[in-house]
Amino acid sequence: MKLKTALFIVGGGLGVYAIYRYLVKQFALAMNWDYKLKYLTFGEVQGDKINLEGVLDIINPSNFSLILNSYSLDFYYKGEFLAHTESNTPIEVEADTTFPAPIRLSVAIPTLKGKALQFAQDVYNQKPIRFGIEGTANVNFGGITRNVELNIPDYEYSEDIAAEYGQGENLSQVRNFLCQKLYICL
């Protein structure tokens, strides 16, 4: 009888420990969710600001759903502030899924003046377009609300943005023409 009780206690303890480990692992997965900037498009121009609209895909690797209560993100290009976006609209992200979150960026035209030439050179040379992203997100997981700090100094938006929009071959032809015929090699 004592052996049966001991086995019951050990078995129950192992079961409780397994459930605890599973929940801790799922909580860690839920708090380390991933995201990617799906696309950006130009919106309207208002005074000295250009509005960009896009979609941020939120990837939840956990077996539990979570709610993104709010986020506040700053975007940087070549180390300088470019734009800010924030939302207080709750978004439910189901378990093991990717959910699109709409974003709206307002970019001040004076900040673009210094970066437009660098951006154009990166597109022309078909180099990767990289942004820095910093900010916070307020996430609710299983009734627990937590602020998640986001700090990605080198987020790759596109490896070759010209090729993504079907202009990679045309850009290569223009670059070859300029270099071979006009001796303008950049």
Q: What domains, with CATH codes, occur in the chain?
A: 32-181 (2.60.40.10)
| Contact of 71 with 138, CB cutoff 8 Å | yes
- Please write the tens of the pLDDT for every residue from 55-67: 877 777 777 777 8
Instruction: Please report which confidence band the pLDDT of residue 8 belongs to, taking 50, 70 and 90 as the band edges.
Output: confident
- Does 118 have pLDDT greater than 70? yes
Q: What percent of the chain has pLDDT over 90?
A: 0
User: Exposure pattern of 22-52 as b/e (b: 16+ CB <10 Å)?
Assistant: eeeebbebbeebebebeebeeeeeeeebbeb
- Please write the tens of the pLDDT for every residue from 35-79: 676 777 777 878 888 888 888 777 777 777 778 888 888 888 888
